[in-house]
Amino acid sequence: MKTPIMTKENVDTLYDAKYLKLYDLRYNPEKHYFSASRRKTDDLVAIKPDDVFKTMLPDAVTIAVVLHLPNSKPKLLLSYEYRYPVGRFLLSPIAGLLDPEDREDENPLCSAAVREIYEETGIKVAETDKITVLNPCAYSTPGMTDESNAFLCADITLADTSMLDQSGCVGTELFDGFELIDIDEAEKIYKSGRDKNGNTFSLATWAVLGWFIMQYGE
């Protein structure tokens, strides 16, 4: 199937704010498609040539942080983060946008992951810990946005959890505690689609739970 061609000249900006933009992608005079994006016009995914598209960096990273504690089976570290469009604290993985300095790093995704883990949990990733890229670029919902996340896992060994701290949040981020999830809890939440409070959560949380179960379940 031939891919429709989109060029910069066929993009109209309908709304332009610091953190979000709305574009009209004019595929032909009778076919318009609206796209919400964090990206500037020159960096929109729709206008990238195939070779650039296949190697581009995502907008953000989502990390499955697995803690290895003494005399304990691995546990998935999640948090309750306030999600403004939903108006509630939702069970969430550690995640955040790539900063400009991350993009200049030799390993941009790992650089962003290490920084986000520290900001959102207080954990300083050690050289002996392991960070692995699970998926380099997955789209949130390409029916309405070109926003993308890389999914990573971080296997972190700790003596205890005394350093866990959410005071490093930046900007509008709000947190309300951690959840250390074992396999049994992960399976229950994954299958039900609800946390301990009976609340639903993001697709990213569901994906991280599923990977954790697949990786560490019996």
CB 164 within 8 A of CB 123: yes
Averaged pLDDT, 89-107: 96
The mean per-residue pLDDT over the stretch 123-139 comes to 97
Three-state DSSP at 89 gives: strand
Tell whether the model's pLDDT for residue 105 goes beyond 80.
yes
First to last CA, the chain: 42
Separation between Cα atoms, residue 69 and residue 73, nearest integer Å: 7
Buried-state track 8-22, b at ≥16 Cβ within 10 A, e below 16: eeebeeeeeeeeebe
Give the three-class secondary structure for 145: strand
Query: Which has more pLDDT, 3 or 136?
Result: 136
The CATH classification of domain 60-216, taken from the options 3.50.50.60, 3.90.79.10, 3.20.20.70, 3.30.565.10: 3.90.79.10
Domain spans, the chain: 8-53, 60-216
Show the tokens assigned to 11. Answer: 């993009």
Q: What is the pLDDT of residues 145-204, one digit of tens each?
A: 999 999 999 999 999 999 999 998 877 899 999 999 999 999 999 999 999 999 999 999
Question: pLDDT exceeding 90 applies to what percent of the chain?
Answer: 89
- The DSSP output letter for 50 is H
Q: Is the pLDDT of residue 28 over 90?
A: no
Q: Would you state the pLDDT for residue 5?
A: 83
| 154 strand-pairing partners | 65, 131
Going 149 to 173 to 195 to 65, the CA torsion angle's sign is positive
Tell whether the model's pLDDT for residue 218 goes beyond 80.
no
Residue 117 has pLDDT above 70, yes or no: yes
37 within 8 A of 23, measured Cβ to Cβ? yes
pTM, full prediction: 0.94
Phi-psi region of 6 (alpha: psi -120 to 50; beta: other; left: phi over 0): beta
Query: Residue 160: CB partners within 8 Å, gap ≥ 6?
Result: 69, 70
Report residue 45: phi and psi, to 5°: -65, -35
Taking all residues of the chain, what is their mean pLDDT, rounded to a whole number?
A: 95
Separation between Cα atoms, residue 188 and residue 3, nearest integer Å:
41
DSSP H helices in the chain: 50-53, 100-103, 108-121, 183-192, 203-216
Q: What is the mean pLDDT of residues 50-75?
A: 96
- Residue 54: pLDDT band (50, 70, 90) is very high
Read off the pLDDT of residues 29-49 as tens digits, 9 standing for 90 and up.
Answer: 888 999 999 999 999 999 999
CA 101 to chain centre: 18
- On whether the CB atoms of residues 180 and 67 are closer than 8 A, the answer is yes
- pLDDT greater than 70 at residue 1: no
